Amino acid sequence: MTVLHEVQDAGPAVEIVSRRDAIARGLRLYFTGVPCGRGHLSHRIVKNWACVECKKNWDAVDPKAKLRRKARYEADVDKNRESARSWARDNAQRVRANVAAWQELNRERLPGYQKNWRSKNGASVRAAAKRYAKKYPEKIRIKQANRRAKKRAALGSYTSSDVVEIRELQRGRCAYCPTALDKFHIDHIIPLAKGGTNYRSNIQLLCQPCNNKKYSHDPIEFARSIGRLL
């Protein structure tokens, strides 16, 4: 039977889910419909029976608890991140169920939440990438070396006179748009990373904007999207 209640920590109506059912369904939260000792009609946390509203107060009472957790995590980021990832891999179904449950609880807030997360974290995601590059320069170097190795390992080669001829065949314009080529990018039609060759037949010349656009797309889909059939 589904009983609907006004709940403090969630939207207007919530289903009664016993802790046992929540465990069976892989949920992180359950809801008994019975107020906690402090009178909150709120969700409880499966792993420690705690009331969600009370837990919010803990953070208010001990604001440094969060910082201590963060410090513990950051004391060995690599190990903690790896163990979090391997837990998530082993519990993929549970993770999905929890995400779905959270989204269900926060359905109305979701679009705003996601937009807010992006605007709040876009810069820090980029900053984190920068910090990572600074902290692990050798990993970045290996990545670049692999990319170069792939490039070197690609079959074939072309000459500068090939490029001159290709430019003439393209009538001095970008292969994708009418821009006259002054500066240009030598582009592999099928990227080397996707098994393209270094032969002249796989070379085209692009203007800077088309090169940027192509870079983030599948080459064949990109060509089709601008009306070229490959």
Residues that bind Zn ion (CB under 5 A): 36, 38, 40, 51, 53-54, 174, 176-177, 179, 207, 210
Whichever of 152 and 183 has its CB closer to Zn ion, that residue is: 183
Q: Is 179 buried (19+), middle (13-18) or exposed (0-12) by CB count in 10 A?
A: middle
Distance between CA atoms of residues 52 and 41, nearest Å: 9
Other beta carbons within 10 angstroms of residue 15's beta carbon come to 14
Whichever of 26 and 191 has its CB closer to Zn ion, that residue is: 191
User: Is residue 185 classed as helix, strand or coil in its secondary structure?
Assistant: strand
- The nearest distance, CB 114 to Zn ion, in angstroms, is 28
- The nearest distance, CB 179 to Zn ion, in angstroms, is 5
- The nearest distance, CB 60 to Zn ion, in angstroms, is 13
Q: Which residues 6+ apart lie within 8 Å of 219 measured at CB?
A: 189, 190, 191, 194, 230
Whichever of 1 and 60 has its CB closer to Zn ion, that residue is: 60
Is residue 184 within 8 A of residue 214, CB to CB? The reply is no
Whichever of 84 and 230 has its CB closer to Zn ion, that residue is: 230
Residues paired with 180 in a beta bridge: 173
Where helices occur in the chain by DSSP H, the ranges are 19-24, 52-61, 64-75, 77-90, 92-105, 110-135, 137-153, 160-169, 208-215, 219-225
- The nearest distance, CB 167 to Zn ion, in angstroms, is 13
- The nearest distance, CB 36 to Zn ion, in angstroms, is 3
Distance between CA atoms of residues 204 and 173, nearest Å: 10
DSSP 14: B
Whichever of 173 and 200 has its CB closer to Zn ion, that residue is: 173
Whichever of 49 and 132 has its CB closer to Zn ion, that residue is: 49
